[in-house]
Amino acid sequence: MLRLTKKADYGLMALKYLAEQKGGSAHSAKDIAEAYHIPPQLLAKILQTLAKARLLVSHAGTNGGYALAKPATEISAVEVIRVIDGPLFITSCITIHGACDLTSTCTIKEPLRKVNDSIKELLSGIYIADLVETSEAEHPAAPVGGGLVSIAI
């Protein structure tokens, strides 16, 4: 089973929280951590990482906190995952460093590359705005499905 790390899951949850807030005002790491019962110190590090990657804007001061750096419709799930966890690879033979020692005899490399590419494509098409919960009146025929937490292979 392929799973997102807790850090990536928390990052997506934090961005979802910020997207749901009206007015685009800044919210503290503490507020987000309390809303989702996330360890505050870990969330603070994740938010700092997302701010360095320019997915979030950090505001200092008493009314400071974090806000989305761009619209939730422009931040993809794969972008968040890459910032937090690095490139997405389902097997060690598919890396940015090239081929493994078994490349010349491997019979599953190409099928696994296709699976990897499909997962990346799927996550590239999911945006933070898609994670925001809306009322039944806004989207009456919305399909029911699982989250991004795990993909069974």
Domain chopping of the chain, boundaries: 2-132
What's the confidence (pLDDT) of residue 145?
42
Question: Which pTM was predicted?
Answer: 0.77
Which of 102, 79, 82 has its CA nearest to residue 92? 102
What's the confidence (pLDDT) of residue 1?
52
What's the confidence (pLDDT) of residue 97?
57
**pLDDT of 113-133, one tens digit each?**
888 888 889 998 999 999 997
What's the confidence (pLDDT) of residue 96?
55
CATH top-level class for 2-132? mainly alpha
Q: How far apart are CA 27 and CA 43, in angstroms?
A: 13
- What values do phi and psi take at 88, rounded to 5? -90, 115
Per-residue pLDDT of the chain (153 residues; tens, 9 = 90+): 567 899 999 999 999 999 998 777 889 999 999 999 999 999 999 999 999 999 999 988 777 899 999 999 999 999 999 999 988 777 766 555 556 666 777 788 788 888 888 888 999 899 999 999 764 444 444 444 444 544 444
Asked if residues 72 and 28 have their Cβ atoms less than 8 Å apart, the reply is no
